[in-house]
Amino acid sequence: MKNSITTRLIVLLTLALAVIMGGGMLLDYRLSRQELLTRLNEEALVEIGVAVSDMENWLNGIEATTELLGRILEQQEYSHEGLQQMLRDVVVNNDEIFGAAIAVNSKFTEDARGFAPYYYVDNGTVSYADLAGAGADYQKQPWYSTPIAAGKALWTEPYFDTGGGEVNMTTFAVPVYRIDDKGNRAAYAVVTADVALTALQRVAGQLHLGESSYSLLFSKEGLMMNTRSQSRVMKHYSEISYRGVDLDRWHQMFSQALRGEPSTYDFPCPESEGHCTIRLGRLKTTGWPIGLVYNQQEVLSPLHQYQVKTFILGAVTLLLMAITVYLLISRLTRPLQQLSIATEHMARGEMDVALPQARGKDEVSRLVRSFNSMNKDLKAYIGDLETATANRSRLEGELTAARDIQMSMLPGSGEALWQQNGIDLWAKVRPAKTVGGDLYTYFQSDTHLFVAVGDVSDKGVPAALFMARAISLIQQLAGTATPPDKAMAELNNALERDNHSCMFVTLFLGVLNISSGQMRFASAGHTAPSLLRASEVVTVAQETGPALGLAEDQVYPINVLQLLKGDRLAVYTDGIDEAFNDKKEMYGVDRFNRELQACGELPVKDAGLLLFNSVDMHTGDLPQSDDITLLLLQYPSTTKQIENQSFQLGSGLTGRVQAWLEATLEQWKVAPESIMEFDLVAEEIVTNVQKYAGLEAGELLGLTVTVTAGSLALEARDQGKPFNPFEDGHRSELGADIDSAEIGGLGVHLITQLTDRQSYRRENGYNILRVEKGITGSGTEPPA
Amino acid sequence: MDLTTTVAIDEENSVARVALAGALNTDTAPAFELRLQDVVAAGHELTVLDMKDLDYISSAGLRVIFKAAKQTKSSGRKLAAANRKPHIDKVFEILKALPDMAVFANDQELDDYLDTMQRKAKGE
């Protein structure tokens, strides 16, 4: 399934969609994120601004109330009670003011201790205290001395108020001056308003950004008035170790804030992951540095939520799309899958497999319909083929039977060897098709041998039927008693009768007088036979009549051939000489004669089979084009003499061979020159065998010498390694340097020059070297 | 058949006459080769192989003669064959054995040749 088109489509489409969608979402996320960040930043700034301005207003209110009280005191004289009443009203009416005091300069009071009423909030109720009555001189308190010394209203450093509210506080002190009658300006009193640090912290607490953020508030000297933990309040910032921010940084930021320059510093959050930020600025009203510490992560949490949301949305969309693609593609390609499975079944020959239903007009449906019709056609075609094959094998069976019957009409059923009275006769027919139109027959009666070889025009079944008729007629009408010319004329008339299809036969009819060797024969347009006599082959001259079966009352000339002892007659059909090879070259009569001569010493059967083989070698891979028939007739050779001898290889071999050869040939009365030359040839052959056959001393070399009328032959047989002296490269070049001439190499020239024919063959593990030479003057002349 | 070799040296004319009788074949060639080598090595101007009584020669024998002819020619001397019988002549012909050799059909030709050499030697 990995390679199925469905899987590939689903995977590819899903991937493509994922890439497109992912890209879109990424772009959207980028843009949205930027927008969100900007918005968050703006929101934070607005929030901080609002908180800071709230605080400024709150402090302004305190300052304004206190200054108003001071202004009033500057203008008018009040009784002690009146002052006390006014002061009490201020504390009661202003929640933000923890306590208020009017400390009059003791120079202007009757009492030497001075006058300093103080109202403050104690557990929800306004309490009164007389600061002049307390042990310490209030005019030495910093909240009194500092503003007078400075000559202006100011906020004191925070301090712990003893004797009054007993809380941490800071005081806004306004000096009040009066001008006496002489025009001298003198400090009359100091009006103060106390603000508890807890109240300040409450207001400053509105400044926050995120859950774990907290605000910072410092006095001008650097005392912490508000921070995360109450335990650090009233301590100097330099006493506090703050993780992530070193002291130098604090100094730098603090002094910047005092100058009114806002500063920001990022550092790793000490208590959680991510980065924290300190922003430090200055309150305009009081000049106090104010700051905010917040976790960026918390500020950006809306952004993170957005990221998670986007991711989940993307994943869900992608999953839905993948499912949709899978369902769609599966549905569309289901017929293809079914078709593929069906095709595999069909390939295994299961033609009845069900094909998917084709609905609609799309390509797949058309493909399915085409497949359906192809399947039907194939089924029909295979059915036809089976019928045709059955018919054909039946026909072939009949033809094979016909061939057996046809062959049974011929002696020996197509190949025959007959040996009587010293005569060897061998014949063979080989049709080009199962049956054919060639024929041969022979029979002996008393002193005569009847021989016929024929060739019906055309080949195959028509020729075979006509051949059957021809051979029956030959057996009826011809014979040793009737002269061949007369028999031929009768056969012609018989075959011509009712021969509407104009088939014809070429025929050789011969009658041999066995004792005299005289052969009388007639030919009806048949190829002239060849005669092997004394190692020479000639085509026999003949007079011939027309082919049989074409026209009646024809005359066929009689030919007479006198066979000599040792003669071999070859009668054949044109399937041999007209055999073509793939280069359109005919086998030809000349080649046939040469081959007939070459195997003249072999028995007729071996020679005949070699001739068939030679024709096959010529035609090569081409199918046999015509029927082939060959008949060989060997007239006995009473004068043929053979002598065999085996020799052990080793020293003196040449002498032993020559002694035997000379004795044999002299006994056969071969002429002395021929004996001498054969001696030389024998020596050269023996030398070659001894040198190149690779045999050990003591192994055997067989020699056969044969003499027939006019021919002398020597055959050497050894069991050495294959070596053909006529081809295997040891032959020396004549006239060349003697050093390059190998032993025996010169001798090959002598062998080829002194004999007429040389042949080499390898047979059953033997090297067989044969040479032949025509001779005269031997005592083996054939009888006249 | 055996081979009989007779060597006669004519020191005056620097001629070696080697007479062969019988058959020069595979069996007899090795012994003859040794004998001929000795004669050729003696450095006579002319070495004549008299084949008047040689009845038979095979390629093995001719090979020995070829080698000797080549050897004498390369040292500026001569090897000659004289009185070859027709069938010996035929073997020589077939193997094209003559280029390196002088050939004398009979004793008369050989004597004439020797006379000519003698005259040359005497500066006539």
Q: Quick count: other Cβ atoms within 10 Å of Cβ A633?
A: 25
CATH code assigned to B3-122: 3.30.750.24
Interchain CB distance below 8 Å, A655 and B27: yes
With CA atoms as reference, the chain A residue closest to B98 would be: A735
> Which stretches of chain B sit within 8 Å of chain A by CB?
1, 25-27, 56, 58-60, 62-63, 66-67, 70, 87, 91, 94-96, 99
Interchain CB distance below 8 Å, A676 and B96: no
A759 to chain B, minimum CA–CA distance in Å?
20
Phi, psi values for residue A315, rounded to 5°: -65, -45
Query: Which one of A653, A654, A732, A742 makes the best mutation probe of the B interface by having the most chain B beta carbons within 10 Å?
Result: A654
Interchain CB distance below 8 Å, A738 and B27: no
Nearest Cβ partner for A684 among B27, B58, B99: B58
| The domains spanning A77-200 and A208-299 adopt the same CATH topology | yes
Q: Say what angle helices A5-75 and A80-93 make with each other, to 10 degrees.
A: 170
> Which stretches of chain A sit within 8 Å of chain B by CB?
651-655, 658, 673, 676-677, 679-680, 683-684, 686-687, 734-735, 737-739, 741, 743-744, 746-747, 749-750, 753-754
CB of A707 closer than 8 Å to CB of A670: yes
Query: Which one of A680, A686, A732 makes the best mutation probe of the B interface by having the most chain B beta carbons within 10 Å?
Result: A680
Interchain CB distance below 8 Å, B56 and A679: yes
pLDDT digits (tens, 9 = 90+) for A590-620: 999 999 988 888 889 999 999 999 999 898 8
Widest Cα–Cα separation across chain B? 47
Nearest Cβ partner for A676 among B27, B63, B87: B87
CA–CA distance, B84 with A746 (Å, rounded to integer):
20
Q: Which fold has domain A409-634?
A: Phosphatase 2c; domain 1 (3.60.40)
Q: Which fold has domain A641-774?
A: Heat Shock Protein 90 (3.30.565)
pLDDT at A709: 66
CA–CA distance, A703 with A769 (Å, rounded to integer):
10
Nearest Cβ partner for B70 among A676, A734, A738: A738
pLDDT digits (tens, 9 = 90+) for A444-490: 887 889 999 999 887 788 888 888 889 999 888 878 788 899 999 99
Interchain CB distance below 8 Å, A652 and B58: no
Q: Residues, chain A, total?
A: 784
Interchain CB distance below 8 Å, B59 and A744: yes
Phi, psi values for residue A355, rounded to 5°: -95, 150
A655 to chain B, minimum CA–CA distance in Å?
7
Query: Which one of B36, B58, B72, B79 makes the best mutation probe of the A interface by having the most chain A beta carbons within 10 Å?
Result: B58
A740 to chain B, minimum CA–CA distance in Å?
11
Q: Which fold has domain A77-200?
A: Beta-Lactamase (3.30.450)
CB of A51 closer than 8 Å to CB of A206: yes
Interchain CB distance below 8 Å, A738 and B63: yes
Strand ranges of the sheet holding B102-104, from the earlier edge strand across to the other edge: B3-10, B15-24, B46-57, B78-82, B102-104
Domain ranges within chain A, ordered by starting residue: 77-200, 208-299, 409-634, 641-774
Q: In this structure, what token pair is assigned to residue A447?
A: 């002193």
Q: Is A456 exposed, middle or buried (0-12, 13-18, 19+ CB in 10 A)?
A: buried
Interchain CB distance below 8 Å, B94 and A679: no
pLDDT digits (tens, 9 = 90+) for B42-70: 888 888 899 989 988 988 888 888 888 88
Q: Identify the band that residue A520 occupies on the pLDDT scale cut at 50, 70 and 90.
A: very high
ipTM greater than 0.90, yes or no? no
pLDDT at A784: 31
- How many helical (H) and strand (E) elements, i.e. helices and strands, does chain A have? 16, 29
CA–CA distance, A431 with A414 (Å, rounded to integer):
9
With CA atoms as reference, the chain A residue closest to B92 would be: A750
Phi, psi values for residue A259, rounded to 5°: -75, -5
Q: Quick count: other Cβ atoms within 10 Å of Cβ B28?
A: 25
Q: Residues, chain B, total?
A: 124
pLDDT at A41 over 90: no
CB of A698 closer than 8 Å to CB of A650: yes
Q: Which fold has domain A208-299?
A: Beta-Lactamase (3.30.450)
Phi, psi values for residue A639, rounded to 5°: -95, 0
Q: Identify the band that residue A779 occupies on the pLDDT scale cut at 50, 70 and 90.
A: very low
Interchain CB distance below 8 Å, A738 and B67: yes
Interchain CB distance below 8 Å, A655 and B58: no
Mean residue pLDDT across chain A:
85
pLDDT at A640: 67
A778 to chain B, minimum CA–CA distance in Å?
19
CA–CA distance, A192 with A161 (Å, rounded to integer):
13
Nearest Cβ partner for A746 among B1, B56, B59: B59
With CA atoms as reference, the chain B residue closest to A653 would be: B27
Amino acid identity for residue A194 in this structure: D
CB of A708 closer than 8 Å to CB of A639: yes
Helix (H) or strand (E) holding A416: strand A415-420
Measured CA angle at A11 (ends A10, A17), to 5 deg: 85
pLDDT at A701 over 50: yes
pLDDT digits (tens, 9 = 90+) for A228-242: 888 888 888 888 777
Interchain CB distance below 8 Å, B66 and A738: yes
pLDDT at A777 over 60: no
Interchain CB distance below 8 Å, B60 and A679: no
Question: What share of chain A in percent tops pLDDT 70?
Answer: 94
Domain ranges within chain B, ordered by starting residue: 3-122
Interchain CB distance below 8 Å, B25 and A654: yes
Interchain CB distance below 8 Å, A683 and B96: no
CB pairs under 8 A between A and B: 64
Q: Which residue has the tokens 């941490």?
A: A168
pTM of this structure? 0.41
Q: Identify the band that residue A738 occupies on the pLDDT scale cut at 50, 70 and 90.
A: low
Helix (H) or strand (E) holding A518: strand A518-524
CA–CA distance, A593 with A776 (Å, rounded to integer):
23
